[in-house]
């Protein structure tokens, strides 16, 4: 154990040096660490309202070898050309037939890293780059939420050389082709995770996925990143979809893995930076009722919805960031009675983000101030804000209106012209008082009463 700590610390020190120097770990150091670092595989069995296990697998927007897009200038279709490329793939269609296609699911910005970052911490922090970003330890993530009820979690990153490895990349050691990359690893970006030696060792490679599967020691929450070949980044959607079908089809036959499980198959972002950033997403797994297999769900979701859905499912608090107001997966909303929002995407700009401390001026403006989360409100999940967030940020005003179902910043005129209204008829638990309209132009620091009233009506409905 002691040597593992020492190794991780050494790795962390080296990783830190990379910020300034972009030096890589020497292969001998990696081999030494890999020999002594023991992966951590906690287990738990906490029942959820709609599922007992939540996994996400992210493929990548294609960087080269992409199928040619549709001719620009055509209405609508061209806006979603990456989505349509994916939807047209026969292996994706096979996967879709096994579950529910989420036709209105959006990434949050560009390039890759801020999307992975947001899916763990509920914020982009203005990140507009794939740098060696480190998020300070006073920022909480989804794993802090899971830890409040002892719900086991882990990550499986293909070809991560050892559990908790913090280097910038680990390339194929023969060809030096891209293989594992830090920018596609959400939890590794957070000091609140990696500075805790036990937590860091819950970030593992694919070999450990199969070890945990065979030992029936898989966690209840996991994030899965295939390498740069399999995730389509350095190949193409045909290749990535074929990999995903092959990977999933083994698991779909595994009773232990499928037991009340939901797997979200999605992408980090769309390809075309000036478009809407809609991404093709599918829910599969044993928790999907048979009659919904092969169907579509047009509810507006973003990567923030995954945090909110996990919270609603297991009765967990919110991070008080954009997960607070995010729509929750309809299969969970149907159980809690929460009424999701319809978001009018006409003016929605999820292709870039607001200013922040992680911006380097590529697409967002640098601002030294770390965004302050909300410390009060029920949020869409209905269970308020995480204790440590309340304590850390007590008596400070939230930077944004995190109760909004889409990210908005009035100071930088970001999504201020977007409106959202409560969905009218999708939930049988809808009541007239749960209706409401949200406009992005509302004061950034005010939580609109309609959202909070809606949430409490929904919670009340659930309690009775
Ligand atoms: C959180 O940490 C950052 C970076 O160290 C610091 O700038 C900020 O003031 C801290 N926030 C609080 C509320 O302690
Ligand atoms: C990271 O990638 C670069 C090439 O982009 C390569 O030279 C270096 O050896 C890689 N580092 C590791 C640890 O694989
Ligand atoms: C990515 O992983 C696959 C195995 O899943 C392997 O065949 C491929 O060579 C890896 N890519 C690189 C660049 O090493
Ligand atoms: C490290 O993380 C583990 C598991 O999440 C937790 O039980 C432990 O309290 C953490 N340790 C510290 C010092 O925060
Ligand atoms: C997709 O990528 C694979 C692997 O790199 C390659 O063999 C195949 O020719 C590519 N297909 C297209 C249509 O580019
Ligand atoms: C599924 O989980 C339940 C507990 O939630 C357990 O009783 C059952 O044995 C599990 N089934 C399989 C096939 O693992
Ligand atoms: C986002 O989309 C808008 C509208 O198409 C465009 O003006 C802007 O340049 C895009 N931002 C980026 C970073 O591409
Ligand atoms: C979006 O970018 C493409 C190139 O990727 C360009 O052809 C098109 O004109 C751009 N559209 C807008 C509205 O900026
Ligand atoms: C949610 O409930 C509605 C209304 O009963 C139903 O049409 C829909 O299929 C349900 N969705 C899921 C994912 O359970
Ligand atoms: C609505 O809420 C009740 C609890 O009051 C719950 O039992 C019921 O399953 C919910 N309705 C739907 C369609 O899920
Ligand atoms: C939002 O609307 C206002 C008023 O019509 C306009 O001045 C502003 O430019 C719009 N902002 C964006 C980002 O479109």
The residues spanned by each domain of the chain are 2-463
Q: Whose CA is nearest to atom 12 of ligand 6?
A: 256
Is 37 or 1 the better-scoring residue by pLDDT?
37
72 Cβ closer than 6 Å to some ligand 8 atom:
yes
Q: What is the pLDDT of residues 252-291, one digit of tens each?
A: 999 999 999 999 999 999 888 878 999 999 999 999 999 9
Look at residue 298 in the predicted model and tell me its pLDDT: 97
**If you ran DSSP here, which 8-state letter would residue 283 be given?**
E
For 434-451, what is the mean pLDDT? 45
Q: What is the mean pLDDT of residues 83-93?
A: 93
pLDDT tens-digit readout, 154-207: 999 999 999 999 999 999 999 999 999 999 999 999 999 999 999 999 999 999
Under the banding of pLDDT at 50, 70 and 90, the label for residue 25 is confident
Ligand 10 pocket test target in 337, 425, 458 with most atoms within 8 Å of CB: 337
Residue 441 binned pLDDT confidence (cut-offs 50, 70, 90): low
Tokens matching residue 166: 């913090």
Q: Which ligand is nearest to the CA of 239?
A: 5
Residue pair 89/260 in contact (Cβ under 8 Å)? The answer is no
φ/ψ of 356, rounded to 5, equals -175, 175
CA distance 32 to 117: 29
DSSP summary character for residue 421:
E
| DSSP codes joined into one string, 358-408 | T--SSSS-B-SPPPPPP-S--TTTTS-B-HHHHHHTTT---SS-TTSSS--
Alpha-helical regions (H) of 234-329: 237-252, 255-258, 304-314
Which pLDDT value is given to residue 274? 79
Predicted confidence (pLDDT) per residue in 292-317, tens digit = 999 999 999 999 999 999 999 999 99
Residue 438 is predicted with a pLDDT of 65
Ligand 9 pocket, residue 426 CB under 6 Å: yes
Q: 50 falls in which pLDDT band (50, 70, 90)?
A: very high
Q: Could you tell me if the CB of 276 is within 6 A of ligand 7?
A: no
* Nearest Cα residue to atom 13 of ligand 9: 331
Distance 419 CA to ligand 7 centre (A): 19
Percent of the chain having pLDDT more than 90? 77
**Where residue 61 falls among pLDDT bands split at 50, 70, 90?**
confident
pLDDT at 11 over 80: no
CA-347 nearest atom, ligand 11: 14
In this structure, are residues 19 and 134 in contact, taking their beta carbons and an 8 Å threshold? yes
Other Cβ atoms closer than 10 A to 243: 19
Q: Which atom, in ligand 8's list, is nearest to the CA of 272?
A: 5
What residues have CB less than 8 Å from 446, skipping those under 6 apart?
Answer: 401
Q: What local confidence, expressed as pLDDT, does residue 244 receive?
A: 98
Q: Kindly identify the ligand whose nearest atom is closest to the C-alpha of 418.
A: 11
Give the burial class of 24: count Cβ atoms within 10 A of its Cβ; 0-12 exposed, 13-18 middle, 19 or more buried: middle
**What pLDDT, on a 0 to 100 scale, did the predictor assign at position 29?**
87
- Residue 182: how many CB atoms within 10 A of its CB? 23
pLDDT of residue 437: 60
**Closest Cα partner for 11 from 28, 27, 33?**
33
CA distances for 228 relative to 19, 107, 225, 266, angstroms: 22, 19, 9, 15
Compute, in angstroms, the gap from residue 227 CA to the centroid of ligand 2. Answer: 14
**Structure tokens that stand for 313 in this block:** 């499912």
Q: Does the beta carbon of 292 sit less than 6 angstroms from any atom of ligand 9?
A: yes
Best of 348, 416, 440 for a ligand 11 pocket test (most atoms within 8 Å of beta carbon): 416
The confidence score (pLDDT) of residue 405 equals 97
- For the Cβ of 73 lying below 6 angstroms from any atom of ligand 8, the answer is no
Instruction: Tell me the pTM.
Output: 0.88
The answer on pLDDT for 26 being more than 50 is: yes
- Residue 246: exposure state from Cβ atoms within 10 A (0-12, 13-18, ≥19): exposed
Pocket of ligand 10 contains residue 334 by CB under 6 Å: yes
Query: Residue 190 C-alpha to ligand 4 middle, in angstroms?
Result: 14
Which-ligand-closest: CA of 392? 1
Q: Is the CB of 238 under 6 A from ligand 5?
A: yes
Active site residues: 234
DSSP H or E segment with residue 420: strand 419-422
Determine if ligand 3 sits within 6 Å of the CB of residue 179: yes
Structure tokens given for 406: 């889409």
Per-residue confidence (pLDDT) for residue 27, from 0 to 100? 81
For a pocket test of ligand 3, which of 230, 233, 244, 247 has the largest count of ligand atoms closer than 8 A to its C-beta? 230
The rounded distance, in Å, linking the Cα atoms of 106 and 299 is: 11
Going by their DSSP bridges, the two strands 169-170 and 180-181 should be labelled as antiparallel
390 versus 439: the higher-pLDDT residue is: 390
Inform me whether the pLDDT recorded for 327 exceeds 90.
yes
Mutate to test the pocket of ligand 2, among 166, 169, 173, 233 (most ligand atoms within 8 A of CB): 169
In CATH, what is the architecture of 2-463?
A: 3-Layer(aba) Sandwich (3.40)
């Amino acid at each position: 154990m002691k040597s593992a700590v020492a190794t991780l610390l050494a790795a962390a020190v080296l990783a830190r040096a990379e910020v300034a120097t972009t030096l890589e770990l020497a292969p001998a150091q990696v081999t030494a660490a890999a020999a002594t670092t023991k992966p951590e595989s906690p287990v738990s069995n906490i029942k959820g309202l709609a599922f007992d296990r939540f996994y996400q697998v992210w493929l990548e927007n294609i960087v080269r070898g992409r199928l040619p897009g549709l001719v620009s200038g055509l209405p609508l279709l061209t806006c979603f050309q990456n989505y349509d490329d994916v939807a047209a793939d026969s292996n994706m269609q096979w996967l879709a037939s096994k579950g529910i296609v989420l036709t209105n699911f959006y990434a949050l910005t560009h390039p890759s890293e801020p999307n992975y970052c947001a899916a763990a911490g509920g914020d982009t922090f203005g990140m507009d780059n794939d740098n060696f970003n480190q998020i300070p330890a006073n920022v909480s993530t989804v794993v802090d939420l899971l830890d409040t009820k002892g719900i086991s979690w882990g990550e499986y990153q293909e070809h991560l050389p050892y559990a908790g490895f913090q280097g910038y990349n680990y390339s194929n050691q023969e060809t030096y082709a891209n293989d594992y990359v830090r920018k596609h690893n959400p939890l590794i970006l957070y000091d609140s995770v990696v500075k805790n030696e036990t937590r860091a060792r819950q970030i593992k490679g694919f070999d450990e996925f199969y070890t945990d599967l065979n030992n029936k020691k898989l966690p209840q929450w996991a994030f899965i990143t295939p390498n740069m070949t399999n995730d389509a980044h350095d190949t193409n959607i045909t290749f990535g979809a074929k990999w995903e079908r092959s990977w999933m089809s083994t698991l779909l036959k595994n009773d232990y893995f499928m037991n009340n499980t939901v797997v979200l198959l999605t992408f980090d972002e769309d390809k075309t930076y000036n478009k809407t950033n809609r991404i093709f997403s599918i829910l599969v797994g044993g928790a999907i009722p048979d009659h919904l297999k092969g169907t579509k769900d047009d509810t507006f979701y973003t990567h923030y919805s995954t945090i909110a859905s996990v919270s609603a499912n297991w009765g967990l608090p919110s991070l008080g960031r954009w997960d607070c107001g995010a729509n929750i997966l309809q299969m969970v909303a149907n159980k809690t009675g929460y009424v999701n929002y319809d978001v009018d995407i006409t003016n929605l700009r999820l292709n870039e983000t607001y200013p922040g401390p992680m911006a380097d001026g590529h697409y967002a403006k640098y601002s030294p101030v770390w965004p302050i989360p909300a410390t009060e409100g029920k949020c869409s999940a209905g269970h308020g804000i995480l204790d440590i967030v309340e304590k850390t940020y007590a008596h400070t005003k939230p930077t944004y209106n995190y109760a909004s179902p889409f990210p908005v910043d009035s100071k930088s005129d970001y999504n201020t012209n977007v409106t959202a209204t409560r969905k009218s008829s999708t939930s049988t638990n809808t009541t007239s008082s749960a209706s409401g309209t949200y406009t992005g132009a509302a004061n950034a620091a005010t939580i609109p009463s309609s959202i909070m009233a809606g949430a409490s009506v929904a919670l009340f409905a659930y309690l009775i």
